Amino acid sequence: MLRAVQQGPAVVVCSTCRLSAEQRENEHGQRGGALLAEVLRAVQQADPALATVEVQEMACLFACQRHCTVHVRAPGRIGYVLGGFAPVEEEARAILEYAVLHADSAEGVVPYGAWPQGVKGHFITRTPPEGFVCS
């Protein structure tokens, strides 16, 4: 069930997420999460500064109440699950910009004022790194 991936800063995309609250997939049968992963990679190709965070995919993050869900994580840092995105460039860029700030932070805490506008209101939960809990 587990599959090894490169360790380090990553945005893990739920590849089976719905396209939107109303629609499961697009007219070509593609799920929203799979489309979001494609857009994230395209944004990285256009802006190498955002390629310091790996885009990884996994089936179902179990956050089905929100479509296009991602898990932002990095070793030794608090992780965050965010959802309710659309698979479009603007939202993918905001996710990646936040993930880079997250990876560059000491514990995974990015000051609210530094958050890209596109991630505000999308946070679902935070997860402590192994061996720690948050105060």
What homologous superfamily is domain 10-127 in, according to CATH? Answer: Glutaredoxin (3.40.30.10)
Tens digits of per-residue pLDDT, 117-126?
999 999 999 9
- Locate the DSSP E strands across 43-122: 54-58, 70-73, 79-82
Query: Average pLDDT over the chain, rounded to whole?
Result: 97
- Give the start-to-end residue ranges of the domains of the chain: 10-127
88-132 tens-digit pLDDT = 999 999 999 999 999 999 999 999 999 999 999 999 999 999 999
* Mean pLDDT in residue range 50-75: 97
